[in-house]
Structure 1
Amino acid sequence: MFDKEIKFTLDGGFECELPKMRQVRQYFERNKIKNINDSARQALNTYPNPERLAGKTLAITVGSRGISGLIPVLQETVQFLKLHGSQPFIVPSMGSHGSANAEGQIKILASYGITEESMGVEIHASMEVEKVCEMPDGVPLYLDKVALEADGIILCNKVKPHADFKGRVESGLLKMLCIGLGNHMGASSLHRYGFHNFHTVIPEAGKILLEKIHVPFAIGLIENAYDELMDIEVVEQEHILECEPQYLAKAKQNIAQLLIPEIDVLIIQEIGKNISGEGMDPNVTGRPGSGVAGFSGPDIGNTVVLSLTKATHGNGVGIGMADITTRELIQGLDFSAMYTNAATAGTLATAKIPMVMNNDYEAIVFALKTAPIHNINQAKIVWIKNTLELDSIYVSEPLSDVIENLERAELVSEPQGFSFDSNKKLMPW
């Protein structure tokens, strides 16, 4: 039905004058690594007894998230391992992402610039798994067969707040181990516990698996609020359980946020798996698809999502957390990838289709006319590119006084109207 124009009755129609917008700069702490290659080498050189790596085949895990500086970190890791006589290779470790097949996962890595040519090692992708052990209640724990056949596994992942649950350990090294490296079968098995149990499931499963496999070391990556790499941590196997909560605490102190407490309409230009596991980060919007408590964000009336990132390859998981979207976005969805992802995670709400408008202009007008406001000219609108890049945002004029009273935000432009092309697609500022 979305290949045809959608017609329906809207009180007053779609013709209306939109409030003018102003650019705002939000300020966050900005500690960052200036030379990633040097910092990665320094971190890797803290690993004791590297001579033990000689002659070992080592699988390096790489997930489906966009991670700042990941390529130089991986390149330095490969060089470090080769220098000490081991034979490294890369294993895609992303659960069911990439439509739960090897070709799809290789395609995701390539979209980030991670190829055999750029890394200088082979990429071994497979959905085959082996049962390694069990949880105390008998639920099996699986790991990638290719990785298990290696002499050791190097866990490498960004440590950050998860999009579906809260705990001492969320998205990071242990989740990479028991979910990402479990491929489709392992991810599906653990997700059946439900996200409301993940605060205990992830550390418990991770602990059990770490007792059964060999991890010479793991690499935890922490980003600042500007999506820049700020810390590289190399941690030995016996210290992962105690150190990961420390990395997560640091990551939580450095996430970007929307500093505006009340928003009538939030316009999100793009969502995607490279932005967040849920397309748009619930740690920003306060809307987790899991329904698990503990997330905070602005009080938002209606949320409009206009497009998908190219790097998400049609996986629009998270669109279900929007109220309104466009035909163009819906027509670009890869339902196979999205449904596989949502089904594996058990968060079906993230793949639901919101109300669909014919174009960007209609989506914004509809959001305004159905939000809990009486006067559109006084609407509190916030327009962001995505939930990662929040240093530069746009707000409607009625929010000017709010911005002037915020310590970490300032107005940096004069009012300017929305601009749309001939197809009523919203133009960049």
Structure 2
Amino acid sequence: MIVTKNNLTRIIPLPSVLQGKQLRENMHMLDVKVELAKEIDALEIWAKIAPGQRIAVAVANQGTNNLVEMVKLLIIRLRSAGAKPFIVPAIDNGRGLSADEQRDVLKKIGITEKEIGAPIYSTMETILIGESPKGIPVFIDRYAYEADGIIVLNRTKFHGGFSSDYKSGLRRRITIGLGKQSSVSMCRSYGSTHISENIAEVARFIIQATTFLFGIAVIENPYHEITHIKLVTSQGL
């Protein structure tokens, strides 16, 4: 290596370099369908879903491993309870995607009506349902608002030390995903430095003011492996 100091050039030998290998524990590969079924069966709120109810399942474009299988299982379980489930895109819409573009985004990750076995209702139309305690106008996807129940699915990357991170991820999906561009604009306009607080506040308002049933937090490690699945009711958020 050549270095220059005090206008003098010297050649300094590089230290020896050894080849290394990153070691990590072998992660237990989660049986996603079995784990999700366990979580669903353990949820008491499931008994509150009545035959004929229209249930909105909010799905994002996060490319989660086994996403299609999880959504299909959820749709099957909802149908077995007599419900009429449908998909609504819950995409981070900072880029201002149209309704058709959001549908296309889901298609690219395998979420289609044929594959899932349920209709996909995509719209940019939102309903103003009130104001948060801070005075932030709260919006929600029209189809989700008109549903008899709302379920939100979200992926969270696990970071050591942040045990509640999956809950904040679900709140973001509720606020930004279901609120579309309207919520993005409102949360930013009330202070970008407090946007996390604003998102949480708006999410809590939506949970209380709508027919929100539960959220599904899919937790992945840095290697894109699903390690946990948590179903969280409105009380848990």
| Structure 2: stretches of 5+ with no match in the other structure | 1-16
RMSD: 2.6
Which one has the bigger helix percentage?
A: 2
Q: Give the superposition deviation at 1:90.
A: 0.4
1:213 aligns with 2:210: yes
Structure 1's 72 and 129: CA in aligned 2 closer, same or farther, altered over 3 A? same
For 1:147, the equivalent position in structure 2 comes to 144
Structure 1's 24 and 196: CA in aligned 2 closer, same or farther, altered over 3 A? farther
Which one has the bigger strand percentage?
A: 2
Deviations 1:352-388 (A, max 9, x none): xxxxxxxxxxxxxxxxxxxxxxxxxxxxxxxxxxxxx
Are the counterparts in 2 of residues 62 and 94 from structure 1 also a CA contact under 8 Å? yes
For 1:5, the equivalent position in structure 2 comes to none
For 1:38, the equivalent position in structure 2 comes to 34
Superposition pairs for residues 288-327 of structure 1, below 5 Å? none
Q: What is the alpha-carbon distance in structure 2 between the residues aligned to residue 118 and residue 196 of structure 1?
A: 41
Structure 1's 37 and 133: CA in aligned 2 closer, same or farther, altered over 3 A? same
Percent identity (aligned) = 29
Q: What is the alpha-carbon distance in structure 1 between the residues aligned to residue 25 and residue 190 of structure 2?
A: 36
Structure 1's 34 and 167: CA in aligned 2 closer, same or farther, altered over 3 A? closer
Are the counterparts in 2 of residues 69 and 228 from structure 1 also a CA contact under 8 Å? no
Are the counterparts in 1 of residues 151 and 214 from structure 2 also a CA contact under 8 Å? yes
Normalising by structure 2, what TM-score? 0.82
Matching residue within 229, 233, 237 for 1:232: 229
Deviations 1:164-201 (A, max 9, x none): xx996575111111111111112221122344213322
Are the counterparts in 1 of residues 93 and 176 from structure 2 also a CA contact under 8 Å? no
Q: What is the alpha-carbon distance in structure 1 between the residues aligned to residue 152 and residue 123 of structure 2?
A: 17
Matching residue within 67, 71, 74 for 1:70: 67
Q: What is the alpha-carbon distance in structure 1 between the residues aligned to residue 107 and residue 19 of structure 2?
A: 34
Are the counterparts in 1 of residues 154 and 170 from structure 2 also a CA contact under 8 Å? yes
Matching residue within 134, 137, 152 for 1:137: 134
Q: What is the alpha-carbon distance in structure 2 between the residues aligned to residue 49 and residue 138 of structure 1?
A: 31
Q: What is the alpha-carbon distance in structure 2 between the residues aligned to residue 153 and residue 91 of structure 1?
A: 10
1:127 aligns with 2:107: no
For 1:89, the equivalent position in structure 2 comes to 86
Matching residue within 47, 50, 60 for 1:51: 47
Q: Give the superposition deviation at 1:72.
A: 1.2
Deviations 1:65-92 (A, max 9, x none): 1212211111111111111111110000
Helix, strand or coil: the match of 2:77? Answer: helix
Superposition pairs for residues 271-350 of structure 1, below 5 Å? none
Q: What is the alpha-carbon distance in structure 2 between the residues aligned to residue 190 and residue 167 of structure 1?
A: 25
What is the identity, as a one-letter code, of the residue corresponding to 2:44?
P
Q: What is the alpha-carbon distance in structure 1 between the residues aligned to residue 78 and residue 213 of structure 2?
A: 11
Q: Give the superposition deviation at 1:64.
A: 2.1
Q: Give the superposition deviation at 1:147.
A: 0.7
1:79 aligns with 2:45: no
Q: Give the superposition deviation at 1:237.
A: 1.8
Q: Give the superposition deviation at 1:98.
A: 6.5
Structure 1's 227 and 161: CA in aligned 2 closer, same or farther, altered over 3 A? closer
| Structure 1: stretches of 5+ with no match in the other structure | 1-20, 242-429
1:117 aligns with 2:114: yes
Are the counterparts in 2 of residues 147 and 153 from structure 1 also a CA contact under 8 Å? yes
Are the counterparts in 1 of residues 49 and 83 from structure 2 also a CA contact under 8 Å? yes
Are the counterparts in 1 of residues 78 and 85 from structure 2 also a CA contact under 8 Å? yes
1:173 aligns with 2:177: no
For 1:193, the equivalent position in structure 2 comes to 190
Structure 1's 139 and 51: CA in aligned 2 closer, same or farther, altered over 3 A? closer
Are the counterparts in 1 of residues 30 and 228 from structure 2 also a CA contact under 8 Å? no
Q: What is the alpha-carbon distance in structure 2 between the residues aligned to residue 48 and residue 77 of structure 1?
A: 16
Q: What is the alpha-carbon distance in structure 1 between the residues aligned to residue 158 and residue 225 of structure 2?
A: 16
For 2:22, the equivalent position in structure 1 comes to 26
Helix, strand or coil: the match of 2:44? Answer: coil
Give the number of aligned pairs. 217
Helix, strand or coil: the match of 2:212? Answer: coil
